[in-house]
Structure 1
Amino acid sequence: MKKGFTLIELLIVIAILAVLATAVTLILNPAEMLKQGRDATRLSDLAAIHSAIALYLADVSSASFNSTLNCNVALATSPPTACSAVTSTVVTGGGWVDINFTSVSGGSPLSRLPLDPTDDNTHYYGFGSNTSGEYELITQMESARYVNTGPADKESTDGGEDSDFYEIGNDAGLDIW
């Protein structure tokens, strides 16, 4: 007597595995999971920059801002807003956040300025400031979870004026843009 599986049994097992793999892929939605991961990076990056700017303002006695609108859109084309495209990530005052973080006692809290994970015409980091010492950082969320009206909406609940961008900063109303 031969021991083994028949062709029909093997085909049934393969079909069951294919159905399970398809179901898991549809339920987990890996593309959405990647978008959520990039959004988590965006939130973390802007929180780190926000903390670094707060430290700069508290530590440096002559802390001041120029009236600037900079975006880190690393593209050959112009940025989609009225900001200037600056791709530098230096923390010495020439980066897309135009602050010399090295003037903080104890050294710069950041080794370099982060860039948006996708960094395209839709998803980028922006920095706006005025001569009164108010500033705002912006980005746009990508995943259905964090966008305006999503289950964990970050864009319309941040206190900013634009419900389609995540805004963080010390400007009341976050309306520098």
Structure 2
Amino acid sequence: MEQTKKGFTLVELLIVIGILGVLASAVVVVLNPAELLKQARDSQRLQDLSSINSALGLYLVSTSSPAVGTGVTTVTQASGACDEAMTASTTAVRTTGGVGWVYVDFDELTGGSPLSVLPIDPTNSGNYAYCYNGSSTTDTWELTTVLESTKYATTEDLDGGDGGTDAAVYEIGNDPGLDLITD
């Protein structure tokens, strides 16, 4: 009686490993993890600026004499983030009491600040930073950031279709024309 050997030959194993390698490469190319990370950071940017914008709106309607600040501020010291940018003190940059990078005292609101801290950009370097400008004369403000993913910056064109003055920057606020921060 002849004994049969069970198992795979070396050639069969190499073929299966090769096929798995090709499939893994195809998945990496299709999913593009670098672009997915950029989209996640952009999503965080949009959410952060929306939260700050909502808090500023609440501050404006809840305060008898609102002071939305003057001057352009940004959270990073990188050049190019915002023209004419000033940086809040690094120890107080995230505080909501009027000395953070948004010069508005959210702590004046009844019930306290709607934000526990002022958010900062997920990358917070180079051109990726949050910028703020407020005018106490007109009680208007503008928040800006640069989007880095193809999905948000090109496909959905959130930066070019936001009603602002700069097609390469996402702008949000209550200033008509969103032109408080100029390039």
Same fold (TM over 0.5): yes
Give aligned pairs, total: 173
1:169 aligned to 167, 173, 179, which one?
Answer: 173
Describe how 1:44-123 pairs up with structure 2 within 5 A: 44-73=47-76, 75=77, 77-78=78-79, 80=81, 81-86=83-88, 87=90, 88-123=93-128
SS of the residue 1:138 aligns to: strand
2:145 is the counterpart of 1:139: yes
> Which TM-score applies when normalising by structure 2?
0.91
- In the TM superposition, what is the alpha-carbon distance from 1:146 to its structure 2 partner? 1.2
C-alpha distance in 1 between matches for 2:79 and 2:26: 42
Amino acid at match of 1:145: K
SS of the residue 1:141 aligns to: coil
Larger Rg: 2
- In the TM superposition, what is the alpha-carbon distance from 1:145 to its structure 2 partner? 1.0
> Which TM-score applies when normalising by structure 1?
0.94
- In the TM superposition, what is the alpha-carbon distance from 1:151 to its structure 2 partner? 1.4
Gaps of 5+ in 1: none
The C-alpha deviation readout for 1:120-150, integer Å capped at 9, x for no partner, is: 1211000001122110000000001111xx1
Dislocated runs of 4+, deviation >3 Å: 77-80
Gaps of 5+ in 2: none
SS of the residue 2:144 aligns to: strand
Amino acid at match of 2:143: L
2:14 is the counterpart of 1:11: yes
- In the TM superposition, what is the alpha-carbon distance from 1:65 to its structure 2 partner? 2.6
Aligned residues of 2:130 and 2:143 also touching (Cα < 8 A): yes
- In the TM superposition, what is the alpha-carbon distance from 1:79 to its structure 2 partner? 5.3
C-alpha distance in 2 between matches for 1:41 and 1:120: 15
- In the TM superposition, what is the alpha-carbon distance from 1:66 to its structure 2 partner? 2.8
CA RMSD of aligned residues (A): 1.1
Aligned residues of 1:71 and 1:79 also touching (Cα < 8 A): no
C-alpha distance in 2 between matches for 1:111 and 1:39: 21
Aligned residues of 1:78 and 1:85 also touching (Cα < 8 A): no
The C-alpha deviation readout for 1:94-139, integer Å capped at 9, x for no partner, is: 1000111011111110000000000012110000011221100000
Identity among equivalent pairs (%): 46
Aligned residues of 2:80 and 2:127 also touching (Cα < 8 A): no
Aligned residues of 1:141 and 1:165 also touching (Cα < 8 A): yes
